[in-house]
Amino acid sequence: MTSATQAPNVPARALPNRPNMVSVGTMVWLTSELMFFAGLFAMFFTLRSTQAEMWAEYSARLDLVLAGIITVILVASSVTAQFGVFAAERHQPRRTGGLLQVKNWGMVEWYILSYLMGAIFIAGQSFEFAELVSHGVSIQTNAFGSAFYITTGFHGLHVIGGLFAFLYVIVRAYFSVKFTAKEAHAAVVISYYWHFVDVVWIALFAVVYLLPQFV
């Protein structure tokens, strides 16, 4: 009888706060991607140490100014994506004011801006590829051409994958009757991937474009 009367007063045992499996899976996958890009970096450093003259000659043909501009744009897209995360965390899928009232933007507006910046990056990279090919530097030209196109090309494919992910989250949020924690978490996971892509490109820009200017 005593235990029966005391039972309602016993505090409920807190459930364990388990990590979200989508986030965990994303982090594990990004770790494997990091190892993949580490191999590409090793390829570039090996080329520099074994064929220094060719590395210096063909590095001089790269468009440092264009690469710098699209790098700034891509880094800025990571900032706007994070503002989108902040909006998703406060469960604000769309803007609450006019289009020019940036402080009232929701996740959709910030992610659309991030998407456009990412698309500009791809357009700039494609333009540089076309210019290099027109001047006789292709993936088949020599070891430098192979290393350059494989490394930057694979990164470009990752950016394109991120653009599709942005579209998925934007469309999902736009047509959802109710913006729930599930939609917000999807937006956060996409931001992990996008930040990763940006950090990898900063490293690539430093190795491929800046390093030849100082060494």
| CA distances, 60 to each of 40, 63, 137, 142 (Å) | 20, 8, 12, 15
CA distance 51 to 143: 9
Question: What gap in Å lies between CA 108 and CA 72, rounded to an integer?
Answer: 22
- Cα gap 178→43, rounded to integer Å: 48
Q: What is the pLDDT of residue 1?
A: 45
Distance CA 117, CA 115 (A): 5
* Domain segments of the chain as ranges: 23-214
Question: What is the distance between the alpha carbons of residues 54 and 52, in angstroms, rounded to a whole number?
Answer: 6
Given CA atoms 120, 82, 189, 173 in this order, what sign does their dihedral have? negative
pLDDT tens sequence across 170-186? 998 878 778 878 888 88
User: pLDDT band at residue 14, thresholds of 50, 70 and 90?
Assistant: very low
Q: Give the Cα-Cα-Cα angle 74, 82, 34 (nearest 5 degrees).
A: 60
The chain-wide mean pLDDT, for the chain, equals: 84
CA angle centred on 175, ends 173 and 181, rounded to 5°: 35
For the cut 80, the answer to whether the pLDDT of residue 3 exceeds it is: no
As its CATH architecture, domain 23-214 has: Up-down Bundle (1.20)
Percentage of the chain beyond pLDDT 90 is: 45
Split at pLDDT 50, 70, 90, the class of 2 is: very low
Q: Provide the pLDDT for residue 26.
A: 65
What pTM did the predictor assign?
A: 0.83
End-to-end, the C-alpha distance of the chain in Å comes to 84
Which tops the pLDDT comparison, 24 or 72? 72
**Distant-in-sequence, close-in-space partners of 98: CB < 8 Å, separation ≥ 6:** 104
Between these two residues, 104 and 11, which has the higher pLDDT value? Answer: 104
Which ranges of the chain would DSSP assign to H, the alpha helix? 2-6, 21-50, 52-59, 64-89, 107-134, 143-175, 181-204, 211-214
Tens of pLDDT, residues 105-160: 999 999 999 999 999 999 999 999 999 999 889 998 888 889 899 999 999 999 99
Reported as half-sphere exposure (CB side, CA atoms, 13 A), residue 175 has a value of 5
Q: What is the pLDDT of residue 201?
A: 95
How many whole angstroms separate alpha carbon 145 and alpha carbon 132? 9
Q: Which residue has the higher pLDDT, 73 or 183?
A: 73
Task: Give me the pLDDT at residue 161, please.
Answer: 94
The pLDDT tens digits of the residues spanning 27-58 come to 666 676 777 778 788 887 888 788 888 888 88
